[in-house]
Structure 1
Amino acid sequence: MTKVKTQWKEFLEAVSVLQWVLSFLFLGVACIILMVYFMFTSLWPLSTLYFMWLVMDWQTPERGGRRTTFVRKWRVWEHFRDFFPVKFSHSNTCKNQLVKTGELNPNKNYILGCHPHGIMSAGAFTCFSTESCGFNEMFPGVRSSLAILAGLFRIPLLREYIMCAGLYPVSKPSLAHLLSKSGKGNAVVIVIGGAAESLASSPGVNIVVMRQRKGFVRVALEFGADLVPVYSFGENELFRQVIFSDGSLGRRLQDLFKKIMGFAPCLFVGERLAFLPYKTPVTVVVGSPISVPKRVTPTEEEVDHYHRLYMEALSKLFHEHKVSCGLSETHKLRII
């Protein structure tokens, strides 16, 4: 049976999601404007002191950050999670928003590749950057760390917030620190498709951008971290996006912006207030690990071999769980 939500509960869920969406879109810009504004007021010493601190603290995000359980356990994330209705089926496959299909040994390190990116990677954020979906209970002894666009850690004030949430730059020094200097039981989560994949996000579309993305496999080999495919069912259904055709002016402008800034400006609309996503179930399915040997200098053949194994495992994961997670048998996964 489905528990009926009160109006107050629905309001809290909507506000929780709205603050997250607005933070995703505008918090970085707001932080920059605020710091610049302070420079021209009587509060200029605060900005000066902060920028001095920023220079001294510049490398912290790539050296383990300042992760705090307090932020990751905020009650707001539970309301955020509950906004997306949980899908129940006769099988036990997709009864939760986070689904486990294999064991993760706490004595090993892992790179979890999460697909697809969607507009805002809501599934990846909820399951791997908050404690609301029970990752720690499902995989005892394993610590999830979501790696995101490195440029966000250069934005004043914003960097402090996202570091507290346990977010890390998706850069080689950051990944090296997490996989070699933080002990064992680290699960580094990377949304492989990135900005290019976000531009393909649309309801009913299952496109994964990764055929030419092999850097994560090379890092896995260098540090002997097992690869784990992850698929976020329902991610592409959260927003309706205006898709520009290849070669059009709109797509050329998006690609130019992505090349300069590192992320793509997506034109999308939600269900309510334009910003709230559609109430579609989001189910993040964690696959079984692919054993990867440690190679200080991996060859191209080794990289290609494990990249191929990973794509095959991802495709298998998608087709095994697509029906129980809300898709039809006719849905196909397209890897480009």
Structure 2
Amino acid sequence: MPSPSPSPSTILNSQPSRPEDRAALGLPPMSYVEAVQSPRHEDTESSAFHKGGFELNKDTIQVLEPTSPNAQGVSQRNGLTSAPLPRGALKNCGSHGPNNVNGPHRNGRPDTTLRSRGGSQHASIRWAPLNIALERRLQTLVVLFHTITIPIFLTAFFFACAIPLFWPLLLPYLVYISLFSNTATSGTLVRRSRFLRSLRIWNYFASYFPARLHRSVPLTATRKYIFGYHPHGIISHGAFAAFATEALGFSTLFPGITNTLLTLDSNFRLPFYRDYALAMGLASVSRESCENLLSKGGLDNAGMGRGITIVVGGASESLDAQPNSIRLVLKRRKGFVKLAIRTGADLVPVLAFGENELYEQLSSDQHPLIRKFQLLVKRTLGFTVPLFHARGVFNYDIGLMPYRRPLNIVIGRPIQVVQQRDRAKIDDAYVDELHSKYVRELQRLWKDYRGVFAMERTSELEIVA
């Protein structure tokens, strides 16, 4: 009697790829690359795998099928056009997918529970192994540098002050940046360095998470744009990667558009750091700076082809940065809409999936007194002091380094604005109309891509005052 022919699944893959099935058969776990390359023969309702920051399951597999990138590495899926993954991003995924790059975890978050040993419980710090690839070490080093950039440059300044030989140079330098320099607000971008923004080290920075930039539609270089970045997160790592460097391919996705990331004006009063920020193309978020950036340079020397990126929620929003949720401080934030009307710039919402997952923060609901103190600091000093933690350089549980969790920055559709230069003639009803359109586009981005980039969300997008 002839033996039955093997099933198609047996022909395609004689070994299971699900971890629990392989463990039952005594087989070692498959690596991430092997899982991607092997044909899937299991029930798609109960299995999923990760690929380059995307999670594939029965609901989204049609979105994430392999695509053919064009000559520049740009790919298209589910209505989004995405820049190529940063160099080393797939290597960053390790052996269990990109969500497990912080060591052992549950549901994509590090396992920091108490462990029992000998009948007693204790908090265990999980140390990073010593045999990690050099590329991952370089990624960590670059992210560490960015995280503590201000202390590094201030330390260098005070060290220089301790050497009398430098005093003849430091004194006029301090007078210049305090009284005469307007580079951060002039809108000329004369200190912007394309070389510095395109350095390979920023590829390491983006690959650490990894981060990726996606666009909904192309943007013409004959318009001006105000990109509103949401959410703020703790440090806005995604905004820096996407708009202050070329690591995520902004110029590839939006050719002809010169974009400037804006930050607090006080940062340009910090010696040495201000020069680094100006070279990275950053500028002040003051009204004067915004208007100058959108009215100078560009194709017609009047701002066409220029864009600015504003983290709209600001310091207040950083206090609401909790993993697996997004609370946006936006209801009463209409100054950027009025700026768009005065300058004739189109509004472009940007939603960063994963920004809030990079750190853990004390919940304001559980610590109301701390929240009141933080708000007092903000009213007094203009900035906040979020109490947060994540991982360290050599451990997975304690430190100020962000977690290695995927960042997907989605740029929405532009909202066209009719210019009205006279502030007194700006109609409040028109401001409200544009603001409502902006909010609806943000909500569309959330609804369309939450099933792809926010699989572990515990709440829906919330817009507060």
Deviation of 1:327 after TM superposition, in Å, equals 2.6
Contact 2:259 2:309 survives alignment (8 Å): yes
Give, in whole Å, the separation in 2 of the partners of 1:55 and 1:200.
34
SS in structure 2 at match of 1:253? helix
Deviation of 1:131 after TM superposition, in Å, equals 0.6
- Match status 1:204 vs 2:324: yes
TM value normalised by structure 1: 0.90
User: Which structure 2 residue ranges, 5 or more long, are not aligned?
Assistant: 1-35, 37-50, 52-89, 93-131, 299-303, 394-398
Amino acid at match of 2:170: S
**CA 1:277–1:57 in structure 2 vs 1: closer, same or farther (change >3 Å)?**
same
Alignment of 1:64-213 (within 5 A): 64=187, 65=189, 66-85=191-210, 97-183=212-298, 184-213=304-333
Alignment of 1:1-336 (within 5 A): 1=36, 3-4=90-91, 7-23=133-149, 26-27=151-152, 29-30=154-155, 33-34=158-159, 37-38=161-162, 41-55=164-178, 57-64=180-187, 65=189, 66-85=191-210, 97-183=212-298, 184-245=304-365, 248-273=368-393, 274-296=399-421, 297=423, 298-327=426-455, 331-336=459-464
Give, in whole Å, the separation in 1 of the partners of 2:178 and 2:402.
37
Structure having the larger proportion of residues in helix: 1
User: Which structure 1 residue ranges, 5 or more long, are not aligned?
Assistant: 87-96
Match of 1:94 in 2: none
Contact 2:324 2:458 survives alignment (8 Å): no
Give, in whole Å, the separation in 2 of the partners of 1:106 and 1:173.
23
Contact 1:323 1:329 survives alignment (8 Å): no
Amino acid at match of 1:60: T
Structure scoring higher RCO (CA < 8 A, sep ≥ 6) equals 1
User: Over residues 105-138 of structure 1, what are the superposed CA-to-partner deviations in whole Å (9 max), with x where a residue is unaligned?
Assistant: 1000000100000001011110000011100011
Larger radius of gyration: 2
Deviation of 1:282 after TM superposition, in Å, equals 0.2
SS in structure 1 at match of 2:364? coil
Amino acid at match of 1:228: V
Contact 2:154 2:271 survives alignment (8 Å): no
Amino acid at match of 2:262: A
Amino acid at match of 2:430: E
SS in structure 2 at match of 1:227? strand
Range with greater deviation from structure 2 (50-59 or 286-295): 50-59
User: Over residues 71-101 of structure 1, what are the superposed CA-to-partner deviations in whole Å (9 max), with x where a residue is unaligned?
Assistant: 1012211100000136xxxxxxxxxx10010
TM value normalised by structure 2: 0.66
Give, in whole Å, the separation in 2 of the partners of 1:20 and 1:160.
15
Contact 1:197 1:209 survives alignment (8 Å): yes
Deviation of 1:42 after TM superposition, in Å, equals 4.2
| Alignment length (residue pairs) | 323
SS in structure 2 at match of 1:322? helix
Give, in whole Å, the separation in 2 of the partners of 1:250 and 1:331.
23
Deviation of 1:139 after TM superposition, in Å, equals 0.7
Contact 1:233 1:282 survives alignment (8 Å): yes
Contact 1:126 1:133 survives alignment (8 Å): yes
Q: Percent of aligned pairs with the same residue?
A: 35
SS in structure 1 at match of 2:386? coil
